[in-house]
């Protein structure tokens, strides 16, 4: 499926139609995540509009869609709850204090994200290994799928959520399958019609004119909102929340309360955004600007906090809908954001009539397109530790959240890499005609390999003169420096002479700085004949 997506080039018609499709898909997601966070649906919709507009216009990845997300909402729910309790405990109790704390936290979160962009921390997304990326994609696909299962429930007379039964369930499944079928087969017949938008329109007409909506046999966007406790989609333009923000005490206690949440939200938001950016880069075979995206996400969250939004980041599902529908430029994201605002201002009654089944069908097709099905094929072909990382990241994304999953995957991959490189240190030994024993070191010398490095030497039984040749080795960290100093000192305590050959220039400098007891100038051999030494020693050659 990705091969078909790659072949699509930038086209303003596709961008506009894709933006309309994404706007429809944004509605239930934004509303659902607002309910998760414990705030009014309009708070989620305003966030989707403002964040989507700013990141689309100024972000580092054209075609990527941002808005209110579940990864952030699950953190916000405890913030809002605790903030509400703190508001009621004040000398003059304040209702909805949790929402006001949320706005302040989102503003601080945005500031931290801008700082990450200024410090150019976005480039570290390149350190994420491919198995972690595949696990991230698979985990998110599963999360999106599981989130849609909640749409197959209803609230009973006891206020409990139960799964649909009977004809209502069958109609729901039928409309979902019809949506998926249109999206799958329509592109095979013609590419002039946007598959997702056409599917939503057809299914909506069937439900409305078939009388299914009036008989409440089909859940609509409007019924979904009311079941969650909301009043509807209709609202005005976002307004500056000075009154709400002025309720937040400007004290050290407030900063201690909101800063940990802001830091977590900023980290999760950037990880999800940059991972999504990386995925779209791979699909479209283009390259986004990670640092610019960090600053755009930060600016967007500051604005949405000031104007009454819940904050957000890149949305993998909506981004995939956009890319799959042909959205390639900033136009698609801007159209989606502006259209969403038009829905809120003018078209709320009509949007509320769209069956949830149509949007679920679109999201199921996103799941199919997002999941890396090739991972099943390559699991037996890749190294065991890479397969373990892939499965681990997928599982942790589902069980916990994206940030924990990605960090765990990166840490595990780094440890495996260090362990594998630690085993590669070697020492070829030979004795010269004058009786000097030579150790030719091969492999990286760093914290993981110093134990193996030390085991190569026989200090007590070696002759009076020893040479340690580093022409095929590289010293990578302070642990490696200390290992060299330690081995030299062991030989010197026994009155033996040691020469260090073919050390790189930066290693020589570090050795001299690190060795406070004695100048190593006499131990390091500077007059080198092998031409390869100059290539290894001159680090500027590789700049």
Question: 128-173: per-residue pLDDT in tens?
Answer: 788 887 887 788 788 778 878 878 887 777 767 788 888 888 999 9
**Structure tokens that stand for 276 in this block:** 């999504």
Q: Report pLDDT for 114.
A: 95
* CA separation for the pair 484, 41 (Å, rounded): 63
Residue 475 φ then ψ, to 5°: -95, 125
Task: Assess whether pLDDT exceeds 70 at residue 542.
Answer: no
Grouping H, G, I as helix, E, B as strand and the rest as coil, residue 409 is helix
Question: 29-47: per-residue pLDDT in tens?
Answer: 787 678 767 788 888 899 9
Every domain of the chain and the residues it spans: 2-117+161-228+235-370, 423-542
Average pLDDT over the chain reads 83
Task: Assess whether pLDDT exceeds 80 at residue 213.
Answer: no
Local confidence band at 537 (pLDDT 50, 70, 90 cut-offs): very low
Grouping H, G, I as helix, E, B as strand and the rest as coil, residue 42 is helix
Task: Assess whether pLDDT exceeds 70 at residue 10.
Answer: no
Do residues 62 and 269 make contact, with C-beta atoms less than 8 angstroms apart? no
Nearest to 59 by CA among 300, 320, 326: 300
**Structure tokens that stand for 316 in this block:** 């993998």
Average pLDDT over residues 460-481: 86
Q: Report pLDDT for 1.
A: 41
Beta bridge pairs of residue 14: none
* CA separation for the pair 279, 65 (Å, rounded): 13
- 465-475, strands of its sheet edge to edge: 426-431, 437-445, 465-475, 497-501
Average pLDDT over residues 116-128: 82
Task: Assess whether pLDDT exceeds 70 at residue 300.
Answer: yes
The CA-based diameter of the chain, rounded to the nearest angstrom, is: 101
**Structure tokens that stand for 177 in this block:** 């399958």
Give 334 or 414, the one with higher predicted confidence. 334
CATH number of 423-542: 3.30.750.24
Continuous segment of H or E residues that includes residue 441:
strand 437-445
Q: What is the DSSP letter of 343?
A: I
Task: Assess whether pLDDT exceeds 60 at residue 8.
Answer: no
* CA separation for the pair 96, 7 (Å, rounded): 49
Do residues 475 and 507 make contact, with C-beta atoms less than 8 angstroms apart? yes
* CA separation for the pair 263, 98 (Å, rounded): 17
* CA separation for the pair 274, 292 (Å, rounded): 11
Given its phi and psi angles, is residue 211 left (phi above 0), alpha (psi -120 to 50 degrees) or beta?
left
Do residues 380 and 201 make contact, with C-beta atoms less than 8 angstroms apart? no
Q: Report pLDDT for 4.
A: 43
* CA separation for the pair 260, 266 (Å, rounded): 10
Do residues 305 and 311 make contact, with C-beta atoms less than 8 angstroms apart? yes
């Amino acid at each position: 499926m990705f091969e078909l997506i790659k072949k699509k080039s930038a086209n303003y018609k596709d961008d506009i139609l894709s933006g309309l499709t994404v706007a429809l898909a944004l509605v239930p997601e934004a509303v659902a995540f607002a309910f998760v966070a414990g705030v009014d649906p309009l708070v989620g919709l305003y966030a989707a509009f403002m964040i989507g507009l700013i990141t689309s216009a100024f972000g580092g990845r054209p075609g990527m869609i941002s808005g209110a997300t579940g990864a952030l909402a699950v953190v916000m729910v405890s913030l809002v709850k605790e903030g509400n309790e703190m508001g009621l405990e004040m000398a003059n109790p304040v209702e909805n204090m949790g929402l006001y704390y949320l706005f302040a936290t989102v503003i601080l979160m945005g500031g931290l994200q801008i700082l990450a962009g200024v410090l150019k921390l976005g480039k570290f997304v390149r350190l994420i290994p491919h198995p972690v990326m595949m696990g991230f994609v698979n985990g998110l696909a599963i999360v999106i799928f599981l989130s849609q299962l909640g749409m197959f429930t209803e609230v009973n007379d006891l206020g409990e959520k139960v799964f649909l039964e009977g004809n209502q369930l069958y109609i729901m499944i039928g409309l979902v399958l019809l949506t998926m079928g249109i999206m799958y087969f329509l592109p095979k017949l013609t590419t002039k019609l946007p598959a997702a938008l056409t599917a939503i329109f057809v299914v909506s007409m069937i439900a409305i004119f078939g009388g299914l909506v009036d008989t409440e046999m089909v859940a609509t966007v409007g019924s979904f909102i009311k079941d969650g406790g909301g009043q509807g989609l209709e609202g005005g333009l976002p307004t500056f929340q000075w009154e709400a923000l002025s309720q937040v005490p400007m004290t050290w206690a407030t900063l201690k309360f909101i800063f940990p949440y802001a830091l977590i939200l900023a980290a999760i938001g950037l990880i999800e955004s940059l991972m999504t950016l990386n995925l779209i880069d791979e699909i479209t075979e283009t390259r986004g600007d990670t640092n610019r995206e960090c600053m755009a996400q930060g600016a967007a969250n500051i604005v949405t906090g000031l104007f009454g939004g819940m904050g957000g980041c890149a949305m993998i599902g909506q981004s995939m809908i956009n890319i799959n529908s042909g959205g390639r430029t900033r136009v698609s994201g801007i159209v989606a954001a502006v259209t969403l605002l038009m829905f809120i201002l003018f078209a709320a009654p009509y949007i509320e009539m769209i069956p949830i089944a149509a949007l679920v069908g679109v999201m199921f097709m996103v799941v199919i397109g997002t999941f890396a099905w090739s991972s099943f094929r390559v699991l037996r072909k890749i190294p065991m530790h890479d397969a373990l990382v892939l499965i681990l990241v997928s599982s942790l994304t589902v069980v916990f959240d994206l940030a924990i999953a990605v960090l765990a995957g990166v840490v595990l991959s780094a440890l495996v890499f260090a362990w594998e490189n630690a085993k590669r240190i070697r020492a070829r030994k030979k004795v010269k005609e004058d009786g000097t024993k030579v150790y030719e070191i091969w492999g990286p010398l760093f914290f993981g390999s110093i134990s193996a490095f030390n085991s190569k030497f026989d200090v007590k039984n070696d002759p009076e003169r020893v040479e340690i040749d580093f022409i095929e080795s590289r010293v990578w960290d302070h642990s490696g420096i200390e290992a060299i100093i330690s081995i030299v000192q062991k030989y010197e305590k026994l009155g033996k002479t040691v020469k260090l050959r073919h050390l790189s220039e930066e290693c020589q400098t570090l050795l001299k700085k690190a060795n406070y007891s004695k100048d190593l100038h006499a131990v390091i051999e500077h007059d080198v004949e092998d031409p390869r030494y100059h290539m290894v020693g001159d680090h500027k050659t590789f700049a």
